[in-house]
Every structure is written in C-alpha cells, then in structure tokens.
Structure 1
C-alpha cells in the first residue's frame, strides 16, 4: 500500500484523473482524503480557467483573425501619465491561460503575464500620455488620442480593433466593449501591459519624489497622497486640471 506522502506527491504532480486513482476515493485515511479533495478542487479550478479562457478567445474570434485589443491605465489619478496599450495575440494562445482584467490579478501575476504577453503577442505597442497633454486636452480626449497612437504604431495592421469602452478615430473596423477586459483576451492583455508599464513608471517617479509615496498609490488621491500635496504642493507630474490640484495651483 502506498503511503499518504507518496499519494499526496503523485496527486500534486497529476493534471487529470487517471486509472491509478480509482481506489483513492475509497481510501479512508484522512490524509489521503484531504489530498484527493485538494486535487479535485485544483482540477475544477483549472476547468473554470480553461472555460473562461475559451470564452475570451471565442469573443475575439468573432471579429476575425488579427484582432487588436486596446485598453488604458491611469485615467483617474492626480499625477502621472495615462498609459494605453494595443495588442494582437495569436489564435488560442494557451500560454495566457488565466489572463484576466489587470485589476483582478496580483502585482506578481500581472508582471508574469506582462512578460508572457510580450513574448507571445504578434504585435504590441504601449503609449504614455503625459499629464501636460491631459491638462491640455482633458482626460477623455487624451486617452482617446493615446489609444489611437497605440493602434497606429502596431507593426501589423489588425483586421479589427476591440476597445475597452471607447470609440477611436481610426479607419479600421472597431467595437467599443463595455467591461471589455473581462470579455476579450486581447483587451485583457492590453490592460496588463498598460497597468504594468504605468506602475513601473510611477515607481521610478517615486525615486525622484520620495515624499509623495507614488510607489504605493500610483498617483491616485489617497489620504497619504493628499497629505503630501498639502505639505509639498504639486510636482510637474501632477495634473493641474484635476481637483484638488487645480485649487492648489490657484492658491
């Protein structure tokens, strides 16, 4: 008879139900039952991940083969750029199993997926729109312009563009998708690239302006950030048309 340790190790290494497992369900040892339960939960989670992955792929596939997903990060913060990305993925792209809206993933998972997207994408581009341009145009127009630039800079021209809740001034056929990063694998990939690039930018900015805590709040209006603004005033990277920065500039 196999020991509990041997069975647990074998189940951890397994990726599907196999013939040798037929007696495990009836094995009354508590340790075996715990390992078996964990194995079944892992299989179910994997099944759900695969189903969600397939749904995202099917969503994109309805628009053609070369579909570019477009998303942004940083429309709401008081400081830093808004960052947009456009991504064309290969068909299926099983390597991105588990990729989701960037807000649903941990920083570690985002960074891992970011590398995988860059490795497997047929084409991608990331664009940074400065606070200066945001103040000049307004955040909506600045984001739209940045997204358009991301699409135009792809080295492969897509057949179709799916954009997270935005319509762009481009000649390529497009669709504006509400909560697109939860429906489209290409938009989710763009979300990951934009979010990861912006977070890195703000962490670098924190080295230049350590008193604001940019590495912790990425420029959003947290209590810590607002207190730093009151004490030190805005930097050149703050958005002068956003409150309370706007009122501080008048003062």
Structure 2
C-alpha cells in the first residue's frame, strides 16, 4: 500500500512570496473548547529568506500542527520559533470576555488582537478555517495548521503560551488539575466540577459549567 506524500507545509507561503507578498502572517487560536481559562491566539510571520536557507528550512520543517506534537517537543519548538527572527504577536480573550461576547466573537477578537500585536503589520493573512474583518488580503485554509507552516507555527506558539497560563492557574486552583488537562473537559475535570462547582476562571457560558452550577444549587453564580 503506497504511503501518502508528505504535505509541503511551505507551499502557501512560497507561492504568495513569488506573487510579491513579503509579510505573510499565519494565525491560529487555542483553547476554544476548554471549560476554563482564556482563549489565546498567535500570529507568526516566518523570516524572509527562510525558504532559501537550508539550515533555516530544516528548523522550520520540524514544525507541524501543535496537536500532533508531544508537550516537551512543542515547548522546545516554540522556543526555537521565538529565537528564529520570526515576527510574533500573541493575544488573549479572558474567560470573562468570552462569557460576555460568546465563543465565536471571542475567537475572532483574539486573532485580530494577535495580528495587531505584530511589530510589523502583514500584507497577507493565512488563517485556520476562517477569515476576519480586516482590509488586509487573507486566505482561510481548512485544516490550516496541517497545511501552512505559518499557521502551524502560530498554533504551537499559542498552545505553549496558553499552557503556561493554565499551569499558573493550577497554583491558585489545584483541585481542578488545570496543569494536567489545561481546562479541557476530561473525566477528572468534570468530576471536580461536579464535586466543587466552578472556580472563578471557569467559563460560565459553557454548558458543562452551567450544569455544574445548577446541580449545586448555586444558580446565582452563573451570571
């Protein structure tokens, strides 16, 4: 049985550079499905010339979608990206903001903030599975973190940044195990919610959190 050819993760960026674009930002977010903590987005512009420098290329080619990389390896790659000369913007939408404006708006808000946080504003945006309300030319790529090197790099940077936030939250609320599951709805987290109710960093607009509040008879804490 023939194996599938590896995806050329730099094909989008290469074609756009050949078309005259010079500051191409990949944007992705993490934490969308978590029950607690912020939603974090990152924007990454790969340094000009990366597609011509063999050493740079070998480093960038180690990058894949953050979900497919082990935790320690992901942290190492994120550190490398920060040291590579890439232009990076990171931004977050807090759980309070998310509760107020909703998940879809929070997702867009985090991405837009990450773009504005870049030291140099891009002339092209590559975005995972969506487009934004920006005048900048942009392409929404389905499964972008598995198709575009810039988006994959943004996914890794955002994931490592958010993981660090959740580890800090674990110090304040150790009973929920945030350092282990990063706020996602694993069995241990759901059990802690049922037994203890939500902490201040939980997202009240998410059904499992609301249900935990109601089950404990603390409906006044939902709003």
Question: Which consecutive unaligned segments of at least 5 residues does structure 2 have?
Answer: 218-223
Find the residue that maps to 2:36 and give its secondary structure: coil
Find the residue that maps to 1:62 and give its secondary structure: helix
Counterpart of 1:178 in structure 2 is: 142
Superposition CA RMSD, Å: 1.4
Deviation at 1:115, TM superposition (A): 0.7
- Matches of 1:248 and 1:101, distance apart in 2: 33
Deviation at 1:59, TM superposition (A): 1.7
Counterpart of 2:94 in structure 1 is: 130
Counterpart of 1:85 in structure 2 is: 42
Describe the shift of the 1:146–1:167 C-alpha distance in structure 2 as closer, same or farther (beyond 3 A): same
Select 2:33's aligned residue among 69, 76, 88. 76
1:114 and 1:196 in contact (8 A); partners too = yes
After superposing on structure 2, the runs of 4+ consecutive aligned residues of structure 1 that deviate more than 6 Å are none
Structure of larger gyration radius: 1
| Offset from partner CA, 1:23-63 (integer Å, 9 cap, x none) | xxxxxxxxxxxxxxxxxxxxxxxxx8xx64xx222221222
Counterpart of 1:32 in structure 2 is: none
Question: Which consecutive unaligned segments of at least 5 residues does structure 1 have?
Answer: 1-47
1:69 and 1:187 in contact (8 A); partners too = yes
Deviation at 1:198, TM superposition (A): 0.9
Alignment of 1:231 onto 2:195? yes
- Matches of 2:71 and 2:211, distance apart in 1: 33
2:41 and 2:91 in contact (8 A); partners too = yes
TM-score (norm 2): 0.86
Select 1:145's aligned residue among 101, 109, 113. 109
Superposition map of 1:1-251 within 5 A:
52=7, 55-63=8-16, 64-90=21-47, 91-92=50-51, 93-94=56-57, 95-250=59-214, 251=217
Q: Decide which moves more: 89-98 or 190-199.
A: 89-98
| Offset from partner CA, 1:68-112 (integer Å, 9 cap, x none) | 000011100111111100010113241222100001101111011
| Offset from partner CA, 1:162-211 (integer Å, 9 cap, x none) | 00012111111001110001111100000000111111111111111110
- Relative to its length, the structure with more helix (as a share) is 1
- Choose between structure 1 and 2 for higher RCO, CA contacts under 8 A separated by at least 6 residues: 2
